[in-house]
Amino acid sequence: MNIKKIILYDEPSIPEIKISDLASFIKDNFSVDVVINDNFFLDLNKSEVKLLTKTRMFDIYKQKISYEPEKHITNFEEQLCKNSSIMEKTTKIEDAENISEVVMYDGFEMQKFLRNQIRYTRNDTLHIIFTNRLTCTFDESDYRYHGRAVICANPAIISTTGIIEAPAKSKEFYIQAMANKSQGLDINSVKEQHKGEFLEYHDERLAKIIEGYVLQIIFYNITGESFCEYLDCRLNNAHWQRDLLYSQIEVSKLCEKHQMILDMQK
C-alpha cells in the first residue's frame, strides 16, 4: 500500500465520531500510522476564511460561479471556524422554509481550498478532514446539486451533516411529513413513527457508519475506485438511509472481493 500515514482532522462538535476509536479501527485494518489532529478550520487567518467562504453555494440549481462574499457571510464563516457547533442550527433541511436557507458548500471547491491549505505534504500521507459543513456536488445528469457525505481523493472530506442529510429517508416518511406540514403541524410525530429508520443529529450509530466512509476513502486511494455495487459491502455508496444502515450496521463487512483486497494490504 502506498499510503504510510493517515491524518484525521477532528470535528469536535460531533463527539459521536469517536475519533480515537476510529484511529484504532484504521490501524487494526491497515498497516499505516494514524495521527489525530485538531479541527482543520480552527487556525485559519482572515484571508483564508474568505477563500473558504467563497466555496459556499446558494442555489442548488446553478453551478457555483466565483463571487465576492458579502461581509456578513464571511463573518459567519469566521465564527464557525472558531466554534463549529453554531453550524447545527443552519443545516437541518427539514426545519428550513426554503432550501436556500441551508448553509451549503461546493464539495469539490472546498476540497481545492483544503488542498491549497495543506501545501506541503508527502505523497504517502492521506488527509481525512471531518466537518459538519454540508458538502454538495453538482450533478450534470439532473443539473442540480446533491448533498454528499464523502468527497474521496486526497484530501478527503467527510461531512457529518452530509451523512444525515444526503442519503434519502423513505418515501413514506416524506409523504407523511408533507401531509403534516400542509396542515400546519410539525413533523415530530412522523419522526417518532419512523424512529431508528434513519440517522438523526448526534446519532450514536454515526461512529460505525463513519468507519464505512473511511474505508471508501482508503480504498479509493488504493484502487482508484471507492464504491461497491453490492449492498452487502461497506463500500456501497448508499443513496437511501435504509441502505446505509443495512450496509454499515447490519452487514458491517466487506464483500468477498474487497475483503481480499483488504487482506493484501496488511
C-alpha cell read off for 65 = 460561479
59 vs 225, which CB is nearer to Zn ion? 225
Pick the closest to residue 234 from 223, 245, 221, 220 (CA basis).
245
d(CA 175, CA 84) in angstroms, rounded, equals 32
Beta carbon nearer to Zn ion, 148 or 258: 258
Closest distance of CB 232 from Zn ion, Å: 8
Query: With contact defined as beta carbons under 8 Å apart, do 98 and 59 qualify?
Result: no
188: Cβ contacts below 8 Å, ≥ 6 apart: none
Choice between 81 and 255, CB closer to Zn ion: 255
Half-sphere exposure at residue 80, Cβ-oriented, CA atoms within 13 angstroms: 22
Query: Taking the complex as a whole, how short is the minimal distance between the CB of residue 216 and Zn ion, in angstroms?
Result: 10
Residue (173 or 213) nearer to Zn ion, CB: 213
Of 127 and 208, nearer to Zn ion (C-beta) is 208
C-alpha cell of 128?
A: 481525512
Residue 33 Cβ vs Zn ion, minimum distance, rounded to whole Å: 26
Question: Of 41, 57, 54, which is closest to residue 147 (Cα–Cα)?
Answer: 57
Closest separation in Å from C-beta 218 to Zn ion: 13
CB closer to Zn ion out of 103 and 228: 228
Rule CB under 5 A: which residues touch Zn ion?
Answer: 228, 233, 235, 255, 258
For Cα atoms 210, 118, 235, give the angle at the middle one, nearest 5 degrees. 25
Judged by phi (left if over 0) then psi (alpha if -120 to 50, else beta), residue 224 lies in: left
In this structure, what C-alpha cell is assigned to residue 45? 487567518
Shortest distance, position 2 Cβ to Zn ion, whole Å: 21
CB of residue 220 to Zn ion, shortest distance in Å:
13
Element (H, E) at 80: helix 71-82
